[in-house]
Homo-oligomer: A and B are copies of this chain.
Amino acid sequence: MQEVLSHDHIRATTVRGTDVYNGEGEHLGHIDDIVLGKQSGHAEYAIMSFGGFLGMGEKYHPLPWQSLSYDPGLCGYVVNVSRDQLEGAPSYAAEEEPDWNDPAYGRRLQGYYGLPVI
């Protein structure tokens, strides 16, 4: 489903809706949005959503951008986390947006996805 702009560049609107899989090729969800550092212009998190029906009961998992790699064969992103691990991962419901400015939250996410905690 994924129209890739080029091998190097991608549009934010193209990232949105892209499927996310784990290392075993299991479908985990899709990208709902990207959270950018306003000044830096750096994509910090891809917000993955899954479950729910017509927006009800939907859960959002912020994934550190560096934890994602794009797999052209799957036409989707891959994050190395099992379904079980995902169950315990930081997530929120639609009405509970986290505080993206909280450094502790950022560190928790980095740590959960096995990235260096700054």
Contact = CB atoms under 8 A, between A and B. Distances in A.
A35 B41 CA distance: 11
A11 B38 contact: no
Size class of the contact patch on chain A: 20 to 34
A16 interface: yes
A43 B41 contact: yes
B6 A99 contact: yes
A65 B41 CA distance: 7
Interface string A85-105: 000000000000101110000
Contact of A6 (B5, B12, B16, B101): B101
A8 B15 CA distance: 21
Interface string A76-118: 0000000000000000000001011100000000000000000
